[in-house]
Amino acid sequence: MEKSILIIGLTLLLSTIACAQGEPREFEYQKGDTTFTMKQYVFCLYLSGSNRSQSEEEGEALQKEHLAHLSSLKDHGLVMAGPFGDDGEKRGILLFDLETVEDANALVEKDPMVIDKRLDFDCHPLWLAKGTTLK
């Protein structure tokens, strides 16, 4: 098991280096008789922003604008979005099928909740095996 984790980790590290050098966002690797196709996505984490003092009415209006913005991202690489089930500092996630973190940042920066500083965000490249799904 530890050897498998090490092999996967090294493969991901090498693929990250390759992508930094302009290589494709996808690669394949073989483990036994199974071939995995890995693809790089962009994972964004919504965080509580510095301005959470809006009135209830302002908060509701911002939430409607936020949801409309997320809906508009479906045509711009958004694969998945959702809030966390608690009321902590981490508020929710976005998963994009985009070329770069900068592309995702440019989209998330336009979120009305981010503009009003009710939410902040942090985006990172994320490697996932193609064909895996949530159940």
Q: Confirm if 12 and 126 have CB atoms less than 8 A apart.
A: no
Beta bridge partners of 124: 43
Identify the pLDDT of residue 30: 86
d(CA 130, CA 40) in angstroms, rounded, equals 9
pLDDT, one tens digit per residue, over 122-134 is 999 999 988 888 7
Percentage of residues of the chain with pLDDT beyond 70:
83
Instruction: Give the model confidence (pLDDT) of 32-65 as tens digits.
Output: 998 889 999 999 999 999 999 999 999 999 999 9
Q: How high is the pLDDT of residue 10?
A: 45
Please write the tens of the pLDDT for every residue from 24-34.
889 998 889 98
Give, for 115, the enclosing helix (H) or strand (E).
helix 112-115
Q: What is the CATH number of domain 2-129?
A: 3.30.70.1060
How sure is the predictor about 111, in pLDDT bands with cuts at 50, 70 and 90?
very high
- Cα-based torsion angle of the residue sequence 73, 77, 79, 83 in order, rounded to the nearest 10 degrees: -40
Whole-prediction pTM value? 0.79
